[in-house]
Amino acid sequence: MSAFATAPAAGPTDDALVSVVRTPLLSSSSSGSCLTTPKGTMATRTTPGPTPGSSTSDEALAASGSVRRQPLAKPVRAVLSSDDDEDTPAISEPPHITRIRALVTKLLRSKGARTQKQVTMKEDEIKLVLQHVRDVLMSEPMHLRIEPDVRICGDIHGQYYDLLRIFERCGEPPNKRYLFLGDYVDRGRHSPETMVLLFGLKVLYPKDIHLLRGNHECASINKMYGFYDDVKRRYNVRLFKAFVGVFDCMPVAASVGEKILCMHGGLSPELDDLAKIDQIERPLDVPEQGLLCDLLWADPDEGVEGFLESDRGVSY
């Protein structure tokens, strides 16, 4: 099952809704993990949203001290003075941003659809998204540091229309910030749409959506569980390899507010210093053992102390 939680900004009110992610100290499943450092607790708080009919005007936002978030890649137009040459071209966003924005808008239009159809996407559009999201991911560290508030989501597994419902209920980037803990593909019927939408949003709003790698973002796994077949049937093997090339560049852990450590899997006996996560070099495939393998595969068990070999035959 997918996990969903909200990490709030500092200083929540006493009447804020408190939801415990999981216990004990480390909570993990195929939908991701959250570890509490000595500075914090396992509880996350969800500050209640505005009541129906409440004002969302600029005056109301100013009175409450809130700031309306603006898209990071919003088009900019130059204002010409009377002395400027009328033939001077207007300044606009880069062409690749315009094309990716159009594709993301198209994918988001499926919200509320009565039938769960595949969305038509051109191969060159997908390649454009993959090309630019790889650069964005490689510019980030392997261990992200994220400030609240942020909504934390677990496995999507190709459930594209479930992802749209999350955005419909909780808000879309950049108005709301998200951390996804991996496993975006396989099993579900719409893995390509799921992955392209999230990667496209990452290009447009890199500070408002964060994507960790899961154990299914690996060629040896998603060749068996559906993603390879989906991409090969709808496009070709070359495009599948392009997706895998981006998976090999994704970060694998995130600290939220210096209190909650998140990853897809669990802890590792090799993780005696968080700095070791940043020392993992990319791009790379997921190895069969070691720190990276454990961060994506380990399964915490409340009844176990220390580390025992996993019944799945990989990690602990």
- Residues designated as active site: 216
Q: Pick the closest to residue 130 from 179, 202, 209 (CA basis).
A: 202
Say how far residue 19 (Cα) sits from the centre of its chain.
21
Q: How far is Cα 94 from Cα 78, in angstroms, rounded to an integer?
A: 14
Question: Beta partners for 29?
Answer: 32
Query: Which residues are CB-neighbours of 233 under 8 A, at least 6 positions away?
Result: none
∠121-127-131 over CA atoms, to 5°? Answer: 140
Of 214, 209, 159, which is closest to residue 179 (Cα–Cα)?
209
Give the contacts of 225 (CB within 8 A, at least 6 positions apart). Answer: 186, 187, 216
The CA distance from 196 to 92, in Å, is 24
